[in-house]
């Protein structure tokens, strides 16, 4: 929706103005709005056989299954309005929160976490590189 607002502002400004500086500003608004609207179509978390890819407005981050030690849920905020933020802990100990799938619903966040843990467990079951590390961590 934000991209649409900037895009409409850019189009309206380009139609109604004639000087070069205004055209440059409104063309920038149009381009920025188009970029936000396009990028918003791909927001979220993608779980596949290679790992997890989080797509946000400004960046994307991929984490291979072999780099992930465990998945976690983290509650943020105070009082009755808390968001639940799923994430993973890498083998290096770094915590990687997935802000693209944060939710105010604990049930929805738990469903997403279950899918993430299930896919990670399936990878661990068939990956020869991860099997010794997984057995060392449990013992």
Give the 3-state DSSP-derived string for the chain, with helices as H, strands as E and coil as C.
Answer: CHHHHHHHHHHHHHHHCCCHHHHHHHHHHHHHHHHHHHHHCCCEEEEECCEEEEECCCCEEEEEHHHEEEEEEEEECCCCCCEEEEEEEECCCCEEECHHHCECCHHHHHHHHHHHHHHHHHHHHHCCCCHHHHHHHHC
Q: Residue 45: what pLDDT? A: 83
Mean pLDDT in residue range 66-70: 91
Instruction: Write the pLDDT tens digit of every residue in 108-136.
Output: 888 888 888 999 989 988 888 876 544 44
Q: Residue 133: what pLDDT? A: 44
d(CA 2, CA 33): 7
Q: Residue 5: what pLDDT? A: 75
Output the pTM of the full model. 0.64
Which residue in the block uniquely carries the two structure tokens 């802990």? 89
Residue 54 has pLDDT above 70, yes or no: yes
């Amino acid at each position: 929706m934000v991209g649409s607002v900037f895009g409409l502002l850019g189009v309206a400004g380009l139609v109604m103005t004639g000087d070069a500086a205004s055209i440059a500003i409104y063309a920038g608004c149009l381009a920025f709005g188009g970029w936000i609207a396009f990028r918003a179509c791909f927001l979220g978390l993608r779980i596949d056989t290679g790992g997890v890819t989080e797509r946000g407005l400004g960046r994307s981050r991929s984490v291979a299954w072999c780099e992930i030690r465990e998945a976690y849920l983290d509650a943020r905020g105070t009082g009755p309005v808390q968001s639940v933020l799923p994430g993973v802990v890498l083998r290096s100990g770094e915590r990687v929160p997935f802000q693209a799938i944060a939710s105010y619903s604990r049930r929805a966040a738990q469903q997403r976490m279950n899918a993430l843990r299930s896919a990670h467990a399936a990878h661990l079951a068939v990956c020869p590189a991860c099997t010794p590390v997984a057995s060392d961590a449990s013992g």
